[in-house]
Amino acid sequence: LAKTTQPISMDSYEGQEVNITCSHNNIATNDYITWYQQFPSQGPRFIIQGYKTKVTNEVASLFIPADRKSSTLSLPRVSLSDTAVYYCLVGGRGFGTGFQKLVFGTGTRLLVSP
Partner 1 sequence: NAGVTQTPKFQVLKTGQSMTLQCAQDMNHEYMSWYRQDPGMGLRLIHYSVGAGITDQGEVPNGYNVSRSTTEDFPLRLLSAAPSQTSVYFCASSSTGTPTDYEQYFGPGTRLTVT
Of 16-24, 65-73, 76-84, 87-95, which part binds partner 1 (CB under 8 A)?
87-95
Among 26, 28, 46, 79, binds partner 1 (CB under 8 A): 46
Q: Which of 34, 70, 71, 108 contacts partner 1 by CB under 8 A?
A: 34
13 scored as a contact of partner 1 (CB under 8 A): no
Ordered DSSP codes for 16-58: --EEEEEE-TT--TTEEEEEEEE-TTS--EEEEEESSEEEE-S
Helix (H, G, I), strand (E, B) or coil at 66: coil
Asked if 40 is part of the footprint of partner 1 (rule: CB under 8 A), the reply reads: no
